[in-house]
């Protein structure tokens, strides 16, 4: 599966015609719909947690199955959905078709934001409960690494939309550096006789590895596209 639709936004031509002026209420509703999408991703992820191919399975559930990670068009409905739920989702899809494109709709944003939001919320509960086993420096370093990695990844997604693929790779390399720091901080946490911390470390590792895999796929796609472009120039 490709994580970047290079042809859709080639040479940075990603702007969509959209002349409707929205007020704060419209934008708030839009953001709430995107928050709901994050929760939908997490729901699918939890159900697929024990599967090795969970990243791809969740992508299919989200409607990203057709090598199109640049936008979230043509979302597919689950066959087992009831008629009422299917009708509700169809109506919601019609509403979404009228929405402008923003970074919040990007599949890489949704998947990254969803997994980091789980880690962040779980950490908010575990850190105070297990403070005696987590040195303040380690706790601060872990939280800082989460924040900086996520922020750099969001800038990388913006660069991806602008077709600045070399910049995408550079930003994601920074994100990966911070992600490795998160792994190191987790390793320093003494989970002896702390079941909540044991559980958190195990679950955080799973999600961080999946985030890492998503970013590596994006970097691979970007490098392949850059190689193709340079190859076209030479020929």
Of residues 140, 122, 128, 139, the one with CA closest to residue 189: 139
Query: Are the beta carbons of 226 and 166 closer than 8 angstroms?
Result: yes
Q: 185-221: buried (b, 16+ CB within 10 Å) or exposed (e) per residue?
A: bbeebebeebeebeebeeebeebbebbbebbebbbeb
Instruction: Output the six-digit token pair for 161.
Output: 């939309």
50: CB partners within 8 A, 6+ apart = none
Query: CB neighbours (10 Å) of residue 151?
Result: 14
What does the pLDDT read at residue 43?
Answer: 97
Name the DSSP class of 78.
Answer: P
What does the pLDDT read at residue 13?
Answer: 47
Q: Dihedral through CA 5, CA 222, CA 171, CA 167, nearest 10?
A: -100
Q: In angstroms, rounded to a whole number, what is the distance separating the alpha carbons of residues 157 and 171?
A: 9
Residue ranges in the chain modelled with pLDDT below 70: 1-20, 65-98, 232-235
Query: Are the beta carbons of 114 and 45 closer than 8 angstroms?
Result: yes
What does the pLDDT read at residue 27?
Answer: 93
What does the pLDDT read at residue 20?
Answer: 63
What does the pLDDT read at residue 10?
Answer: 40
Report which secondary-structure segment, H or E, holds 104.
none
What does the pLDDT read at residue 19?
Answer: 55
Q: Would the pTM of this model clear 0.85, i.e. be above it?
A: no
What does the pLDDT read at residue 1?
Answer: 45
């Amino acid at each position: 599966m490709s994580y970047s639709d290079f042809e859709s936004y080639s040479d940075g031509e990603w702007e969509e015609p959209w002349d409707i002026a929205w007020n704060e209420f419209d934008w708030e509703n839009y953001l709430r719909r995107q928050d709901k999408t994050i929760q939908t991703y997490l729901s699918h992820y939890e159900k697929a947690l024990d599967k090795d191919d969970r990243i791809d399975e969740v992508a299919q559930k989200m409607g990203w199955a057709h090598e199109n990670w640049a936008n979230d068009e043509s979302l597919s409905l689950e066959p087992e959905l009831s008629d009422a739920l299917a009708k509700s989702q169809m109506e919601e899809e019609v509403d979404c078709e009228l929405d402008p494109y923003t970074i919040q709709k990007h599949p890489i944003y949704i998947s990254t934001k969803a997994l980091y939001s789980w880690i962040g919320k779980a950490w908010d509960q575990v850190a105070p409960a297990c403070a005696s086993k987590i040195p303040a420096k380690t706790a601060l370093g872990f939280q800082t690494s989460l924040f900086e990695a996520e922020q750099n990844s969001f800038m990388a997604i913006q660069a991806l939309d602008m077709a600045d693929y070399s910049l995408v790779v550079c930003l994601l390399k920074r994100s990966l550096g911070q992600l490795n720091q998160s792994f190191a901080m987790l390793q320093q946490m003494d989970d002896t006789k702390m079941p909540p911390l044991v559980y958190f470390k195990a679950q955080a590792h799973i999600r961080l590895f999946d985030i890492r895999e998503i970013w590596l796929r994006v970097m691979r796609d970007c490098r392949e596209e850059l190689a193709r472009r340079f190859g076209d120039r030479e020929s």
